[in-house]
Amino acid sequence: MTKQNQSLPTSFLIVTGRFIWQKLWLLMMSNLAPTNDKGSYNRPSSQFCHQISQEKDSIYTAEAGRYSLYVGISCPWAHRTLMVRTLKGLENVIEVNFVIPAVNQGGWIMENTSENCQTLRQLYQLSKPNYKGRCTVPVLWDKKTKTIVNNESSEIIILLNNEFNQFAKNAHLNLYSDDLKIEIDPWNEKIYHHINNGVYRCGFAQTQSAYEEACKGLFKILDEIEANLTNNRYLCGNNLTLADIRLFTTLIRFDIVYYSLFKCSVKMIKDYPNLSRYLDDINNLSYIKNTYDLNMIKKDYYGNLFPLNPSGIIPL
């Protein structure tokens, strides 16, 4: 019998290899992105939701230099907090510590040691000993009590907008005014579910039906926003709001990451005339370009989301 005849059939190797890889992929994805029984990504809830208040009996009161943000430069949720910090002029009030994704460790590590911690998990455990949950960014940290105040980005940006005006350079800027909340809140709901989290529901879907549902919902709302921007500068008319901040951080990553890596491939943002104008408009506001790094974003997504890009190749 020849050596060629002794080799395993190509079809057997393909079927076996595909079966093994799929099982490993599902295992890795279950750790990276938990899903429901339909294979749709379920983002876990944030665990720290304390508030900063002007009340004297509050544990956390607004003070210059007391708080710091821990952010990953590639993370869109953390990017929101950097944008509001910049727009409000809080750079000298709230310091920033950067963390870096470490794929082999499965978490974030400190760019520079902070609070005697070298990883974000150590910081979480410093705040809450024996903490076992997910360690995500952004984190609003209280240096006085050595605790996490909040790790929910949607709440942190409200705190930065509302509670530090006595120290802010741009205290007059209100990104969440009472008279616009009736417009802002519905946009926030749509944008979170279908766009901010929607791109992840596309990329992390584990079934075809879950992916298609998320993808159709994503582009339905993008189409709706495109129409809304026909006669509006921003989502709520001529006023920049937190809804715009929440949308921007996904849009700026869309064409270079989500379109291909997350299979959000119906259209690019550049294919939408109004959304493209809107994106450029916000991007050209003072110092906004200092709040992100497109090369780092692309490197982190393609280099660290191993189940989505096993080769680790970063596209040109």
Residues with a known catalytic role: 75, 200
- Give the strand pairing for 95-102 and 67-72: parallel
**Sign of the dihedral through C-alpha 227, 229, 230, 231:** positive
- Beta pairing partners, 41: 35
DSSP 313: P
CA-to-CA distance for 252 and 76, rounded, in angstroms? 9
Tokens, residue 131: 């903490």
Please give the radius of gyration of the chain, using alpha carbons only, rounded to the nearest integer: 22
Neighbours of 74 (CB within 10 A): 24
DSSP 239: B
Residue (of 310, 305, 263, 301) closest to 21 by Cα position: 310
- Beta pairing partners, 186: none
CA-to-CA distance for 202 and 211, rounded, in angstroms? 5
